[in-house]
Structure 1
Protein backbone atom coordinates (compact mmCIF):
# COMPACT_ATOMS: atom_id res chain seq x y z
CA UNK A 1 0.00 0.00 0.00
CA UNK A 2 1.42 3.43 -0.89
CA UNK A 3 2.33 5.48 2.21
CA UNK A 4 -0.13 8.23 1.24
CA UNK A 5 -3.05 5.77 1.10
CA UNK A 6 -2.07 4.24 4.43
CA UNK A 7 -1.89 7.65 6.13
CA UNK A 8 -5.24 8.67 4.61
CA UNK A 9 -6.86 5.45 5.83
CA UNK A 10 -5.46 5.90 9.33
CA UNK A 11 -6.74 9.48 9.45
CA UNK A 12 -10.17 8.28 8.30
CA UNK A 13 -10.25 5.58 11.03
CA UNK A 14 -9.20 8.01 13.76
CA UNK A 15 -11.75 10.58 12.55
CA UNK A 16 -14.51 7.96 12.62
CA UNK A 17 -13.59 7.04 16.21
CA UNK A 18 -13.76 10.75 17.09
CA UNK A 19 -17.16 11.08 15.39
CA UNK A 20 -15.98 13.49 12.71
CA UNK A 21 -15.62 13.28 8.94
CA UNK A 22 -12.17 12.51 7.47
CA UNK A 23 -12.44 15.59 5.24
CA UNK A 24 -12.47 17.73 8.40
CA UNK A 25 -8.78 16.85 8.80
CA UNK A 26 -6.24 18.47 6.44
CA UNK A 27 -3.22 16.30 5.70
CA UNK A 28 -0.17 18.57 5.36
CA UNK A 29 2.54 16.52 3.62
CA UNK A 30 5.77 17.93 5.07
CA UNK A 31 8.26 17.80 2.21
CA UNK A 32 11.15 19.60 3.97
CA UNK A 33 14.59 18.38 2.82
CA UNK A 34 13.00 16.20 0.13
CA UNK A 35 13.57 17.08 -3.56
CA UNK A 36 10.95 17.71 -6.22
CA UNK A 37 11.36 14.12 -7.48
CA UNK A 38 10.16 12.79 -4.11
CA UNK A 39 7.15 15.13 -4.13
CA UNK A 40 6.02 14.25 -7.67
CA UNK A 41 4.41 10.87 -6.77
CA UNK A 42 2.25 12.51 -4.09
CA UNK A 43 1.19 15.24 -6.50
CA UNK A 44 0.32 12.56 -9.06
CA UNK A 45 -1.78 10.76 -6.42
CA UNK A 46 -3.78 13.93 -5.76
CA UNK A 47 -2.17 15.29 -2.58
CA UNK A 48 -2.44 19.08 -2.73
CA UNK A 49 -1.41 20.43 0.70
CA UNK A 50 2.32 20.49 1.48
CA UNK A 51 4.43 21.85 4.31
CA UNK A 52 7.95 23.28 4.34
CA UNK A 53 10.18 24.25 7.26
CA UNK A 54 12.22 27.01 5.66
CA UNK A 55 11.31 29.91 3.42
CA UNK A 56 14.49 29.63 1.33
CA UNK A 57 14.07 25.93 0.66
CA UNK A 58 10.47 26.48 -0.42
CA UNK A 59 11.51 29.37 -2.68
CA UNK A 60 13.99 27.10 -4.45
CA UNK A 61 11.66 24.13 -4.83
CA UNK A 62 8.05 25.16 -5.20
CA UNK A 63 7.67 27.81 -7.95
CA UNK A 64 8.23 25.20 -10.69
CA UNK A 65 6.07 22.60 -8.96
CA UNK A 66 3.25 25.11 -8.49
CA UNK A 67 3.41 26.11 -12.12
CA UNK A 68 2.49 22.53 -12.98
CA UNK A 69 0.01 22.27 -10.07
CA UNK A 70 -1.49 25.72 -9.41
CA UNK A 71 -4.04 24.25 -6.97
CA UNK A 72 -1.35 23.32 -4.43
CA UNK A 73 -1.63 24.91 -0.97
CA UNK A 74 1.71 25.53 0.74
CA UNK A 75 2.07 25.71 4.53
CA UNK A 76 5.06 27.01 6.51
CA UNK A 77 5.45 24.68 9.49
CA UNK A 78 8.90 25.77 10.76
CA UNK A 79 10.07 28.80 12.70
CA UNK A 80 9.86 32.14 10.90
CA UNK A 81 12.28 35.04 11.35
CA UNK A 82 10.64 38.46 11.20
CA UNK A 83 12.95 39.54 8.37
CA UNK A 84 11.52 36.71 6.22
CA UNK A 85 7.88 37.74 6.81
CA UNK A 86 7.41 39.33 3.38
CA UNK A 87 8.86 36.27 1.61
CA UNK A 88 6.64 33.97 3.66
CA UNK A 89 3.50 35.99 2.91
CA UNK A 90 4.32 35.93 -0.81
CA UNK A 91 4.85 32.17 -0.94
CA UNK A 92 2.71 30.42 1.67
CA UNK A 93 -1.04 29.96 2.04
CA UNK A 94 -0.77 29.23 5.78
CA UNK A 95 1.82 29.97 8.47
CA UNK A 96 1.81 27.61 11.48
CA UNK A 97 4.52 29.29 13.58
CA UNK A 98 3.33 32.73 14.71
CA UNK A 99 4.72 32.98 18.25
CA UNK A 100 5.65 36.55 19.28
CA UNK A 101 4.43 40.15 18.99
CA UNK A 102 7.31 41.26 16.72
CA UNK A 103 6.37 38.56 14.19
CA UNK A 104 2.70 39.59 14.32
CA UNK A 105 3.78 43.15 13.48
CA UNK A 106 6.09 42.02 10.65
CA UNK A 107 3.43 39.74 9.14
CA UNK A 108 0.75 42.42 9.33
CA UNK A 109 3.01 44.88 7.51
CA UNK A 110 3.89 42.27 4.86
CA UNK A 111 0.25 41.27 4.36
CA UNK A 112 -0.85 44.86 3.96
CA UNK A 113 1.92 45.47 1.40
CA UNK A 114 1.16 42.31 -0.58
CA UNK A 115 -2.63 42.49 -0.17
CA UNK A 116 -2.49 38.80 0.68
CA UNK A 117 -3.55 37.19 3.95
CA UNK A 118 -2.35 33.63 4.59
CA UNK A 119 -4.06 31.75 7.41
CA UNK A 120 -2.07 32.01 10.65
CA UNK A 121 -1.74 29.52 13.50
CA UNK A 122 -0.43 30.68 16.86
CA UNK A 123 2.30 28.26 17.94
CA UNK A 124 2.08 27.37 21.64
CA UNK A 125 5.02 25.93 23.57
CA UNK A 126 2.69 23.37 25.11
CA UNK A 127 5.40 21.55 27.11
CA UNK A 128 7.16 24.74 28.29
CA UNK A 129 10.41 23.51 26.72
CA UNK A 130 13.23 26.05 26.61
CA UNK A 131 14.63 24.84 23.28
CA UNK A 132 11.31 24.97 21.43
CA UNK A 133 9.56 27.79 19.59
CA UNK A 134 6.07 28.86 20.52
CA UNK A 135 4.61 31.30 23.00
CA UNK A 136 3.95 30.45 26.64
CA UNK A 137 0.44 29.23 27.43
CA UNK A 138 -0.14 32.35 29.55
CA UNK A 139 0.61 34.55 26.52
CA UNK A 140 -2.00 32.97 24.23
CA UNK A 141 -4.92 35.37 24.91
CA UNK A 142 -2.80 38.51 24.42
CA UNK A 143 -1.12 37.22 21.26
CA UNK A 144 -4.41 36.10 19.72
CA UNK A 145 -5.82 39.55 20.48
CA UNK A 146 -2.76 41.14 18.83
CA UNK A 147 -3.26 38.94 15.75
CA UNK A 148 -6.92 39.93 15.48
CA UNK A 149 -6.11 43.61 16.02
CA UNK A 150 -3.54 43.40 13.20
CA UNK A 151 -6.08 41.69 10.91
CA UNK A 152 -4.07 38.46 10.73
CA UNK A 153 -6.44 35.57 9.94
CA UNK A 154 -6.22 33.62 13.23
CA UNK A 155 -6.94 30.11 11.95
CA UNK A 156 -6.10 28.31 15.18
CA UNK A 157 -3.36 27.01 17.45
CA UNK A 158 -0.33 24.80 16.74
CA UNK A 159 1.92 22.75 19.01
CA UNK A 160 4.75 20.22 19.03
CA UNK A 161 4.48 18.15 22.24
CA UNK A 162 7.62 17.00 24.08
CA UNK A 163 9.38 14.05 22.45
CA UNK A 164 9.38 10.62 24.04
CA UNK A 165 6.26 11.04 26.19
CA UNK A 166 2.56 10.40 25.63
CA UNK A 167 1.28 13.23 23.42
CA UNK A 168 -2.43 12.97 24.26
CA UNK A 169 -2.45 15.19 27.38
CA UNK A 170 -0.66 17.96 25.47
CA UNK A 171 -3.07 17.70 22.54
CA UNK A 172 -6.02 17.78 24.95
CA UNK A 173 -4.61 20.88 26.64
CA UNK A 174 -4.18 22.69 23.30
CA UNK A 175 -7.75 21.74 22.33
CA UNK A 176 -9.04 23.16 25.62
CA UNK A 177 -7.11 26.43 25.14
CA UNK A 178 -8.53 26.71 21.60
CA UNK A 179 -12.08 26.22 22.91
CA UNK A 180 -11.54 28.80 25.66
CA UNK A 181 -10.19 31.31 23.13
CA UNK A 182 -12.84 30.67 20.46
CA UNK A 183 -10.54 29.40 17.70
CA UNK A 184 -11.35 26.29 15.70
CA UNK A 185 -8.15 25.19 13.97
CA UNK A 186 -5.77 22.79 15.69
CA UNK A 187 -2.47 22.06 13.95
CA UNK A 188 -1.22 19.08 15.94
CA UNK A 189 -0.01 15.60 15.20
CA UNK A 190 3.03 14.36 13.26
CA UNK A 191 4.08 10.97 11.89
CA UNK A 192 4.35 9.25 15.28
CA UNK A 193 1.17 10.58 16.91
CA UNK A 194 -1.24 11.89 14.26
CA UNK A 195 -3.98 9.33 14.97
CA UNK A 196 -4.06 10.40 18.61
CA UNK A 197 -4.19 14.04 17.51
CA UNK A 198 -7.12 13.41 15.15
CA UNK A 199 -9.07 11.64 17.90
CA UNK A 200 -8.57 14.71 20.13
CA UNK A 201 -9.77 17.14 17.46
CA UNK A 202 -6.81 18.05 15.24
CA UNK A 203 -7.83 19.81 12.03
CA UNK A 204 -4.33 19.81 10.46
CA UNK A 205 -1.80 16.97 10.79
CA UNK A 206 1.79 17.61 9.66
CA UNK A 207 3.18 14.36 8.26
CA UNK A 208 6.73 14.00 6.96
CA UNK A 209 8.55 10.69 7.51
CA UNK A 210 5.43 8.49 7.28
CA UNK A 211 5.01 9.79 3.71
CA UNK A 212 8.57 10.45 2.54
CA UNK A 213 10.69 8.14 4.66
CA UNK A 214 13.67 9.40 6.65
CA UNK A 215 15.04 12.87 6.10
CA UNK A 216 17.49 13.32 3.26
Structure 2
Protein backbone atom coordinates (compact mmCIF):
# COMPACT_ATOMS: atom_id res chain seq x y z
CA UNK A 1 0.00 0.00 0.00
CA UNK A 2 1.32 3.40 -0.97
CA UNK A 3 1.63 5.68 2.05
CA UNK A 4 -0.14 9.00 2.47
CA UNK A 5 3.23 10.73 2.55
CA UNK A 6 4.32 9.23 -0.77
CA UNK A 7 0.99 10.10 -2.44
CA UNK A 8 1.26 13.66 -1.18
CA UNK A 9 4.86 13.89 -2.36
CA UNK A 10 3.84 12.68 -5.83
CA UNK A 11 0.99 15.19 -6.16
CA UNK A 12 3.21 18.02 -4.89
CA UNK A 13 5.88 17.04 -7.42
CA UNK A 14 3.36 17.06 -10.26
CA UNK A 15 2.02 20.46 -9.25
CA UNK A 16 5.57 21.82 -9.09
CA UNK A 17 6.34 20.44 -12.55
CA UNK A 18 3.13 21.85 -14.06
CA UNK A 19 3.85 25.20 -12.42
CA UNK A 20 7.33 25.27 -13.87
CA UNK A 21 6.01 24.52 -17.38
CA UNK A 22 3.60 27.45 -17.01
CA UNK A 23 6.38 29.65 -15.60
CA UNK A 24 4.54 30.00 -12.34
CA UNK A 25 5.81 29.70 -8.77
CA UNK A 26 4.74 26.58 -6.88
CA UNK A 27 3.33 28.71 -4.06
CA UNK A 28 0.79 30.24 -6.45
CA UNK A 29 -1.22 27.01 -6.22
CA UNK A 30 -3.04 25.76 -3.11
CA UNK A 31 -3.55 22.01 -2.90
CA UNK A 32 -6.93 21.17 -1.34
CA UNK A 33 -7.04 17.57 -0.16
CA UNK A 34 -10.64 16.48 -0.74
CA UNK A 35 -11.47 14.45 2.34
CA UNK A 36 -15.17 13.89 1.65
CA UNK A 37 -16.35 10.36 2.60
CA UNK A 38 -13.03 9.72 4.40
CA UNK A 39 -12.98 9.44 8.18
CA UNK A 40 -10.56 11.00 10.65
CA UNK A 41 -8.42 7.85 10.65
CA UNK A 42 -7.83 8.22 6.91
CA UNK A 43 -7.22 11.97 7.14
CA UNK A 44 -4.69 11.91 9.99
CA UNK A 45 -1.81 10.40 7.95
CA UNK A 46 -2.04 13.25 5.43
CA UNK A 47 -1.97 15.77 8.26
CA UNK A 48 1.07 13.98 9.68
CA UNK A 49 2.70 14.25 6.23
CA UNK A 50 2.25 18.03 6.30
CA UNK A 51 -1.03 18.68 4.47
CA UNK A 52 -3.04 21.47 6.08
CA UNK A 53 -5.77 22.41 3.55
CA UNK A 54 -8.78 20.12 3.19
CA UNK A 55 -12.08 20.18 1.32
CA UNK A 56 -15.47 18.80 2.30
CA UNK A 57 -18.75 18.48 0.39
CA UNK A 58 -21.25 18.39 3.24
CA UNK A 59 -21.72 20.48 6.36
CA UNK A 60 -23.03 17.49 8.32
CA UNK A 61 -19.99 15.36 7.50
CA UNK A 62 -17.69 18.18 8.55
CA UNK A 63 -19.46 18.46 11.90
CA UNK A 64 -18.93 14.76 12.52
CA UNK A 65 -15.19 14.49 12.04
CA UNK A 66 -13.38 17.83 11.98
CA UNK A 67 -13.84 19.39 15.47
CA UNK A 68 -11.46 16.91 17.11
CA UNK A 69 -8.95 17.08 14.25
CA UNK A 70 -8.92 20.89 14.31
CA UNK A 71 -8.53 20.92 18.07
CA UNK A 72 -5.33 18.93 17.64
CA UNK A 73 -4.25 20.88 14.54
CA UNK A 74 -5.55 24.45 14.81
CA UNK A 75 -3.72 25.51 11.64
CA UNK A 76 -5.99 23.35 9.46
CA UNK A 77 -7.84 25.28 6.72
CA UNK A 78 -11.24 23.93 5.63
CA UNK A 79 -12.86 24.59 2.26
CA UNK A 80 -16.53 23.94 1.46
CA UNK A 81 -16.38 22.59 -2.09
CA UNK A 82 -19.77 20.94 -2.46
CA UNK A 83 -23.20 22.29 -3.26
CA UNK A 84 -24.44 24.38 -0.33
CA UNK A 85 -28.09 24.64 0.70
CA UNK A 86 -29.22 28.07 1.81
CA UNK A 87 -30.47 26.70 5.14
CA UNK A 88 -26.92 25.53 5.90
CA UNK A 89 -25.34 28.93 5.24
CA UNK A 90 -24.89 29.81 8.90
CA UNK A 91 -23.33 26.43 9.69
CA UNK A 92 -20.97 26.85 6.75
CA UNK A 93 -20.03 30.35 7.88
CA UNK A 94 -19.04 29.02 11.29
CA UNK A 95 -17.14 25.93 10.15
CA UNK A 96 -15.35 26.79 6.90
CA UNK A 97 -12.55 29.15 5.94
CA UNK A 98 -13.53 29.30 2.25
CA UNK A 99 -16.69 28.48 0.30
CA UNK A 100 -16.29 27.38 -3.34
CA UNK A 101 -19.91 26.89 -4.36
CA UNK A 102 -21.66 30.26 -4.31
CA UNK A 103 -23.85 30.03 -7.40
CA UNK A 104 -27.18 31.80 -6.97
CA UNK A 105 -28.79 34.92 -5.46
CA UNK A 106 -30.74 33.00 -2.81
CA UNK A 107 -27.55 31.46 -1.40
CA UNK A 108 -25.81 34.82 -1.60
CA UNK A 109 -28.52 36.44 0.53
CA UNK A 110 -28.40 33.56 3.02
CA UNK A 111 -24.63 33.88 3.33
CA UNK A 112 -24.85 37.66 3.81
CA UNK A 113 -27.34 37.13 6.65
CA UNK A 114 -25.15 34.40 8.16
CA UNK A 115 -22.05 36.57 7.96
CA UNK A 116 -23.81 39.42 9.75
CA UNK A 117 -24.98 37.03 12.47
CA UNK A 118 -21.69 35.20 13.00
CA UNK A 119 -19.35 38.13 12.42
CA UNK A 120 -17.32 35.95 10.02
CA UNK A 121 -17.05 37.03 6.39
CA UNK A 122 -15.83 33.81 4.77
CA UNK A 123 -14.24 34.38 1.32
CA UNK A 124 -16.16 32.79 -1.54
CA UNK A 125 -15.56 31.46 -5.02
CA UNK A 126 -18.48 31.75 -7.43
CA UNK A 127 -19.13 28.40 -9.11
CA UNK A 128 -19.62 28.98 -12.83
CA UNK A 129 -21.53 26.60 -15.10
CA UNK A 130 -18.86 26.54 -17.80
CA UNK A 131 -20.26 23.40 -19.43
CA UNK A 132 -23.91 24.51 -19.37
CA UNK A 133 -24.84 21.52 -17.22
CA UNK A 134 -27.74 22.46 -14.98
CA UNK A 135 -27.45 19.27 -12.92
CA UNK A 136 -24.03 20.34 -11.62
CA UNK A 137 -25.12 23.70 -10.33
CA UNK A 138 -23.16 26.82 -11.05
CA UNK A 139 -24.01 30.34 -12.09
CA UNK A 140 -24.72 30.67 -15.82
CA UNK A 141 -22.02 32.76 -17.48
CA UNK A 142 -24.59 35.34 -18.59
CA UNK A 143 -25.71 35.84 -14.96
CA UNK A 144 -22.21 36.22 -13.52
CA UNK A 145 -21.94 40.05 -13.62
CA UNK A 146 -25.21 40.47 -11.76
CA UNK A 147 -24.27 37.94 -9.06
CA UNK A 148 -20.87 39.57 -8.56
CA UNK A 149 -22.48 43.01 -8.27
CA UNK A 150 -24.96 41.69 -5.70
CA UNK A 151 -22.10 40.16 -3.70
CA UNK A 152 -20.38 43.54 -3.54
CA UNK A 153 -23.60 45.21 -2.39
CA UNK A 154 -24.11 42.62 0.35
CA UNK A 155 -20.45 42.71 1.45
CA UNK A 156 -19.88 39.03 0.67
CA UNK A 157 -16.20 38.71 -0.28
CA UNK A 158 -15.67 36.99 -3.63
CA UNK A 159 -12.05 36.02 -4.22
CA UNK A 160 -12.39 33.97 -7.39
CA UNK A 161 -14.32 31.61 -9.63
CA UNK A 162 -14.73 27.82 -9.50
CA UNK A 163 -15.72 25.26 -12.12
CA UNK A 164 -16.27 21.54 -12.68
CA UNK A 165 -15.83 20.72 -16.40
CA UNK A 166 -18.11 18.15 -18.06
CA UNK A 167 -17.03 14.54 -17.65
CA UNK A 168 -15.27 12.71 -20.48
CA UNK A 169 -14.54 15.90 -22.39
CA UNK A 170 -11.12 17.53 -22.68
CA UNK A 171 -11.09 19.95 -19.71
CA UNK A 172 -8.51 22.44 -21.01
CA UNK A 173 -10.97 24.70 -22.89
CA UNK A 174 -13.17 24.96 -19.80
CA UNK A 175 -10.20 25.83 -17.60
CA UNK A 176 -9.11 28.44 -20.13
CA UNK A 177 -12.62 29.88 -20.12
CA UNK A 178 -12.71 30.16 -16.33
CA UNK A 179 -9.28 31.81 -16.38
CA UNK A 180 -10.52 34.37 -18.92
CA UNK A 181 -13.67 35.09 -16.92
CA UNK A 182 -11.63 35.59 -13.75
CA UNK A 183 -9.37 38.04 -15.57
CA UNK A 184 -12.34 39.85 -17.10
CA UNK A 185 -13.85 40.44 -13.66
CA UNK A 186 -10.57 41.19 -11.90
CA UNK A 187 -10.62 38.13 -9.65
CA UNK A 188 -7.43 36.42 -8.48
CA UNK A 189 -8.76 32.98 -7.58
CA UNK A 190 -9.38 30.08 -9.95
CA UNK A 191 -10.58 26.92 -8.22
CA UNK A 192 -10.31 24.24 -10.90
CA UNK A 193 -8.79 20.84 -11.45
CA UNK A 194 -9.28 17.49 -9.69
CA UNK A 195 -7.34 14.23 -9.49
CA UNK A 196 -7.56 13.46 -13.19
CA UNK A 197 -6.75 16.89 -14.57
CA UNK A 198 -5.13 19.11 -11.92
CA UNK A 199 -1.85 19.36 -13.83
CA UNK A 200 -3.66 20.78 -16.84
CA UNK A 201 -5.53 23.17 -14.55
CA UNK A 202 -2.29 24.42 -13.01
CA UNK A 203 -0.85 25.10 -16.45
CA UNK A 204 -3.98 27.10 -17.29
CA UNK A 205 -3.99 29.31 -14.22
CA UNK A 206 -5.52 27.36 -11.31
CA UNK A 207 -4.83 28.88 -7.90
CA UNK A 208 -6.64 26.07 -6.05
CA UNK A 209 -6.82 22.42 -7.11
CA UNK A 210 -9.22 19.99 -5.43
CA UNK A 211 -7.57 16.57 -5.26
CA UNK A 212 -9.13 13.54 -3.58
CA UNK A 213 -8.43 10.12 -5.12
CA UNK A 214 -4.77 10.88 -5.93
CA UNK A 215 -4.18 11.61 -2.23
CA UNK A 216 -6.50 9.19 -0.46
CA UNK A 217 -6.60 6.35 -2.96
CA UNK A 218 -9.70 4.90 -4.61
CA UNK A 219 -12.90 4.89 -2.59
CA UNK A 220 -14.49 1.59 -1.62
TM-score, normalization by structure 2: 0.97
Choose 131-140 or 75-84, whichever is displaced more: 131-140
Q: Partner residue of 1:179? A: 183
Indicate the residue corresponding to 1:137 in structure 2.
141
Counterparts of 1:57 and 1:214 in 2: how far apart (Å)?
Answer: 19
So what's the TM-score if we normalise by structure 1?
0.98
The alignment status of 1:80 with 2:56, answered yes or no, reads no
Q: Which runs of 5+ in 1 are unaligned?
A: none
Match of 2:31 in 1: 27
Show the 5 A alignment for 1:49-60: 49-60=53-64
The 5 A counterparts of 1:162-173 are 162-173=166-177
Find 1:148's aligned residue among 130, 152, 175.
152
Q: CA deviation at 1:119?
A: 1.1
Q: Distance in 2 between matches of 1:36 and 1:151?
A: 34
Number of residues of Structure 1 aligned to a counterpart in Structure 2:
216
What stretches of structure 1 move > 6 A for 4+ residues in a row?
A: none
Displacement of 1:130 after TM fit? 2.4
| Residue aligning to 1:195 | 199
SS in 2 for 1:131: helix
| Aligned twin of 2:161 | 157
* 1:117 CA drift (Å): 1.2
1:106-151 residue CA offsets vs partner (Å, 9 max, x unmatched): 0011011111111100000110012111010111111111111111
Matches of 2:152 and 2:53 in 1, distance apart? 25
